[in-house]
């Protein structure tokens, strides 16, 4: 039976704001019907975590970039706001969609919304299909030999790597046949995603180009300048070795299949890149692992993965939290990271680990406080990766760093930012200090401080805690928790 082509295909876009390698969109084009493309800003579904302020800025720019590109090939993006399950069902009825397509997502609350909607739409006689798009390995397909979910990264990733090679990315459709009858849409500004008074996102505007084209530029740049030497260089915040693809991946402006295929092509051309490429893929693997954990074990943003941490004696210390947020702890590597975050919406991975360790171990502040701050301020804030990473650092997570591994912010700085360039960039008041003391200004002689034009306690704070004392306090607290096993 030939399909009734008056009834369109509804494509529901979510964390997949791209045209290339977008399986739901490709299937809609292949189906030959008119296409209605819909994005719903869902800040009403009670179980979905509302996105943070930096992510809202990104989403605004990303939707604008997608709409422009989509229109250039004949498409039209419809924007709505509300509880997504309700809105999608209403739009499907409004246009009398013959079929509704989307790419799958994996957070339990989102899975529940999608499952209910699927039943509802099918009951209404519409065809529904969903696709794998955002993860190389979908959580239900990777299990231990006994059929259980993995809790440890290395065997998880080994099992992933043992599966068939990744599928080739799908090309961008050359043209979209939009529905002739335009669907009423909110204007992008009506979603209210951008900050208003004050407009604090100028640093984000300078740093990022959200959208598919921006993602492609980042990938090309990484392949040319970052991949060779990545395995070692990725730990150096003073260098530019990492891809900066995380926010683009978070909003689905580029697919992991596209990234994996591009990396594989480079390795084919130059096999000496193999070890760097494996390391890079393993980082994508950590992203997959976080989604896997969230899918199988549920909420990681509010609940300790290891219940024995429920008894951990976290402290309330507003002064410590405020100094940490503002980059005024007196530990230069911590302060540089927190200021980079505030100015640009991102922070180097090594420094994320150092600042998270500093908050939870030197400050004994509950990791959930730090997770929430990151969630609001990071442009790549991911509801799966962010909590899993915080729990990893805090020691309460799956396959976590052992709690007693307490980063020394001075030696981390000297090791990974040896000349102090990263600190000089983000903590300009320390810029004239020599490398020998830049990670511990309180150890500088009076003459050195004078030569650098720096008065500690006036221009830059003295350390908020003593490292050795803080370390001992954290170990004592942890010992108390361990007793609750
Ligand atoms: P690259 O080194 O180029 O890596 C390529 C991709 O692999 C990244 O884009 C990212 O998608 C993934 N990746 C890299 N490192 C990790 C990692 N350690 N864990 C999981 N995935 C990784 N990443 C997020 O995407 N969103 C978050 O909300 C987030 N919160 C974090 C919170 C803490 C406390 C820590 C320690 C790490 C967090 N990360 C988060 C992981 C990591 O810091 C970023 O993914 C990375 O810094 C992004 O830079 P990049 O794209 O240049 O990474």
390 noted as active-site residue: yes
Asked if pLDDT for residue 191 goes beyond 60, the answer is yes
User: Are the beta carbons of 102 and 24 closer than 8 angstroms?
Assistant: yes
pLDDT tens digit sequence for 61-95: 999 999 999 999 999 999 999 999 999 999 999 99
Task: Choose among 227, 232, 231, 229: nearest CA to 266.
Answer: 227
Pick the atom of ligand 1 nearest to 356's CA. Answer: 34
pLDDT band (50, 70, 90) for residue 3: low
What is the reported pTM? 0.97
In percent, the amount of the chain with pLDDT more than 90 equals: 92
Query: Residue 405: its pLDDT value, please?
Result: 84
Buried b or exposed e, range 394-427, using 16+ CB within 10 angstroms: bbbbbbbbebeebbbbbebbbebbeebbbbbebb
Query: What is the rounded average pLDDT for all residues in the chain?
Result: 95
Asked if pLDDT for residue 355 goes beyond 60, the answer is yes
pLDDT tens digit sequence for 90-138: 999 999 999 999 999 999 999 999 999 999 999 999 999 999 999 999 9
Lowest-confidence pick of 169-183, 244-258, 354-368: 169-183
| CA-closest residue to ligand 1 atom 44 | 349
Helix (H) / strand (E) containing 31 = helix 23-31
DSSP string, 212-248: HHHHHHHHHHIIIIISTTHHHHTT-TTS--S---HHH
The DSSP bridge partners found for residue 13 are 39
Beta strands in 42-122 (DSSP E): 77-81, 99-103
| CA-closest residue to ligand 1 atom 52 | 244
Pick the atom of ligand 1 nearest to 352's CA. Answer: 36
Lowest-confidence pick of 140-154, 207-221, 435-449: 140-154
Asked if pLDDT for residue 340 goes beyond 70, the answer is yes
Lowest-confidence pick of 21-30, 40-49, 122-131, 218-227: 40-49
Query: Residue 2: its pLDDT value, please?
Result: 44
Instruction: State in Å: Cα 120 to ligand 1 middle.
Output: 36
pLDDT tens digit sequence for 155-173: 999 999 998 688 999 999 9
283 noted as active-site residue: yes
pLDDT band (50, 70, 90) for residue 6: confident
Asked if pLDDT for residue 179 goes beyond 50, the answer is yes
Instruction: State in Å: Cα 246 to ligand 1 middle.
Output: 6
The residue annotated as part of the active site, out of 102, 324, 390, 392, is 390
Instruction: State in Å: Cα 54 to ligand 1 middle.
Output: 16
Instruction: State in Å: Cα 285 to ligand 1 middle.
Output: 10
Query: Residue 5: its pLDDT value, please?
Result: 59
Mean predicted confidence (pLDDT) in 213-230: 98
């Amino acid at each position: 039976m030939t399909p009734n082509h008056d009834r369109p295909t509804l494509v529901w876009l979510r964390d997949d704001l791209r045209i290339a390698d977008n399986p739901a969109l490709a299937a809609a084009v292949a189906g030959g019907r008119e296409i209605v493309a819909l994005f719903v800003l869902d800040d009403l579904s009670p179980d979905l975590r509302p996105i943070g302020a930096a992510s809202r800025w990104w989403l605004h720019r990303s939707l604008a970039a997608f709409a422009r590109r989509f229109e250039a090939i004949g498409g039209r993006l419809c924007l709505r706001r509300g509880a997504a399950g309700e809105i999608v069902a209403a739009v499907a009825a409004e246009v009398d969609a013959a079929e509704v397509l989307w790419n799958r997502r994996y957070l339990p609350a989102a899975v529940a919304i999608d499952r209910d909607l699927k039943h509802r739409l099918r009951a209404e006689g519409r065809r529904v299909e969903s696709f794998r798009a955002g993860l190389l390995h979908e959580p239900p397909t990777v299990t231990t030999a006994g059929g259980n979910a993995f809790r440890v990264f290395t065997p998880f990733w080994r099992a992933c790597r043992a599966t068939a090679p990744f599928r080739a990315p799908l090309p961008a459709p050359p043209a979209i046949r939009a529905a002739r009858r335009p669907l009423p849409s909110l204007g992008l500004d009506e979603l209210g995603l951008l900050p208003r008074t004050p407009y604090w996102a100028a640093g984000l505007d300078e740093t990022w180009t959200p959208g598919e084209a921006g993602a492609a530029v980042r990938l090309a740049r990484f392949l040319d300048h970052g991949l060779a030497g990545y395995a070692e260089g990725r730990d150096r915040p003073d260098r530019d070795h990492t891809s900066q693809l995380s926010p683009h991946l978070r909003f689905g402006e580029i697919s992991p299949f596209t990234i994996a295929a591009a990396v594989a092509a480079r390795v084919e051309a130059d096999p000496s890149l193999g070890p760097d490429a494996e390391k890079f893929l393993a980082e994508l693997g950590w992203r997959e692992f976080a989604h896997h954990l969230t899918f199988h074990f549920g909420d990681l943003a509010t609940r300790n993965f290891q219940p024995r941490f429920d008894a951990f004696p976290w402290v309330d210390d507003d002064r410590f939290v405020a100094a940490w947020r503002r980059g005024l702890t007196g530990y230069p590597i911590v302060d540089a990271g927190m200021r980079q975050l505030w100015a640009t919406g991102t922070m180097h991975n090594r420094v994320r680990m150092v600042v998270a360790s500093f908050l939870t171990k030197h400050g004994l502040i509950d990791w959930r406080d730090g997770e929430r701050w990151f969630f609001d301020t990071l442009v790549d804030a991911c509801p799966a990766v962010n909590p899993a990473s915080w729990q990893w650092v805090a020691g309460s997570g799956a396959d976590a760093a052992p709690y007693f591994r307490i980063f020394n912010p001075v030696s981390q700085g000297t090791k990974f930012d040896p000349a102090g360039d990263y600190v000089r960039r983000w903590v300009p008041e320390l810029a004239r200090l020599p490398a020998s003391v830049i990670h511990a200004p309180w150890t500088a002689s009076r003459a050195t401080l004078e030569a650098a034009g720096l008065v500690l306690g006036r221009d830059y704070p003295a350390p908020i805690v003593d490292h050795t004392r803080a370390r001992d306090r954290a170990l004592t607290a942890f010992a108390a928790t361990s007793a609750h096993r």
